[in-house]
Structure formats: structure tokens, C-alpha cells
Amino acid sequence: MIPAGRPIRFTDHLKSRLALRDIPPNLPIEIIRYPMWTFHNTGTGYEIAVAEGVLGRKRKILMVAYEETAAEIVAITVHLLDEEDIRRRIQSGRWLE
């Protein structure tokens, strides 16, 4: 869990994904601060936060890739997932718990 006092900055790429997928801007912040699962992506080196969120009227699983610096959290991108996506990434070794 990321302390509430650390600022979270969105990359332009993440901002475009939010607009494209109609994801509320507060959702990536909530996912980073209160994830259901966290992983380290061995391919990119980014940290991964995964949690459920409500999009429209449906509950979805989302992941946010981010990196921590001394001063802030930089949110890189956001994606919709399903449990099979998570399982495959863990089994392949791409995501480490």
C-alpha cells in the first residue's frame, strides 16, 4: 500500500487510456493506494497494482502499472484484466508477487 501523502502523477499515456476507456480519474489512484494484489513486472520493471473497480454499472478488474521515485508515484498505464490474464502473467514469470 502506498502512503496517502505521496503524490501520484499521471503520464500522458495514462490520461489518454482513461479518456479512451471512460475510466474515472480517481480509480487509478484508489487502485494504487488500496490494491487487492500487487506484483512486480519483470519485463518492464514497473510495479503493478490490481483491484476491482466499477465501470458503468459493472465491476471490472483493472491493473495500474506505476513506478516509485523519491518524490512521487508515476502512474504509467491502466488496463482491464480478467482472472485468466493474471494467472497467465504469474505462471509465465512476467509478474512476481
Tell me the per-residue pLDDT of 40-53, one tens digit each, with 9 for 90 and over. 999 999 999 999 98
Residue 84 grid cell: 485468466
Across 13-22, 24-33, 37-46, 51-60, least confident range:
51-60
Is residue 85 predicted with pLDDT exceeding 80? yes
Interval 26-33 mean pLDDT: 93
* pLDDT in the model for residue 1: 57
Model confidence at 30, in pLDDT bands (50, 70, 90)?
Answer: very high
Q: Which CATH number fits domain 8-96: 3.30.1360, 2.60.120, 3.30.1480, 3.30.1450?
A: 3.30.1450
Across 3-17, 20-34, 40-54, least confident range:
3-17
Alpha-carbon gap, residue 82 to 52, rounded angstroms: 10
Q: Would you say 63 and 83 are in contact if contact means Cβ atoms under 8 Å apart?
A: no
* pLDDT in the model for residue 56: 81
